Amino acid sequence: VSGPSHMSVYVRPHEGSTLSTWSLGDGVPVASLGGDYFVFYSHGLQATPWHFWVELTTPEEHSDGIVSLAIAAHYFFGEDQKSPQLYALLERFPNWTFSSGWSCTYD
């Protein structure tokens, strides 16, 4: 995965599947009460692509996939930080407020 300096990964094993190991941290996912896993990844301005993997245990029969995985890219600075729509929204706040806005994509 390559992208901006800050990214999020969401992993949701489908019913019957279990996230058993991954290449993050010590390799053992922390138990999730709700079944969802969240990783916030950040790096310096110059970085190589982020390589990771997940391993799931699944039942013999599964009909609707085994996992949903999504990645969000957070643009905290630079030319992609704010879109015209975000600028328009921020202009609606009173002048006594301090806003901290950035653009994000979710795939």
The whole-chain average pLDDT of the chain stands at: 88
Tokens of 23: 């290449």
Q: Which residue did the predictor score with more confidence, 60 or 25?
A: 25
Question: Distance of alpha carbon 100 from its chain centroid, rounded?
Answer: 19
Q: What's residue 53's pLDDT?
A: 95
User: Among all chains, which residue has been given the structure tokens 């692509």?
Assistant: 49
Contact 43, 11 (CB under 8 A): no
Q: Which residue did the predictor score with more confidence, 85 or 64?
A: 85
Give residue-wise pLDDT tens across range 39-55: 999 988 788 898 999 99
Going by C-alpha positions, the residue among 65, 63, 73, 60 that lies closest to residue 12 is: 65
Percentage of residues in the chain with pLDDT exceeding 70? 100
Per the document, the length of the chain is 107
Question: Distance of alpha carbon 54 from its chain centroid, rounded?
Answer: 14
Give residue-wise pLDDT tens across range 22-44: 999 898 888 888 889 999 999 88
pLDDT band at 75 (very low <50, low <70, confident <90, very high): confident
pLDDT at 20 over 90: yes
Contact 3, 43 (CB under 8 A): no
Beta strand 18-22 with 54-57 is antiparallel
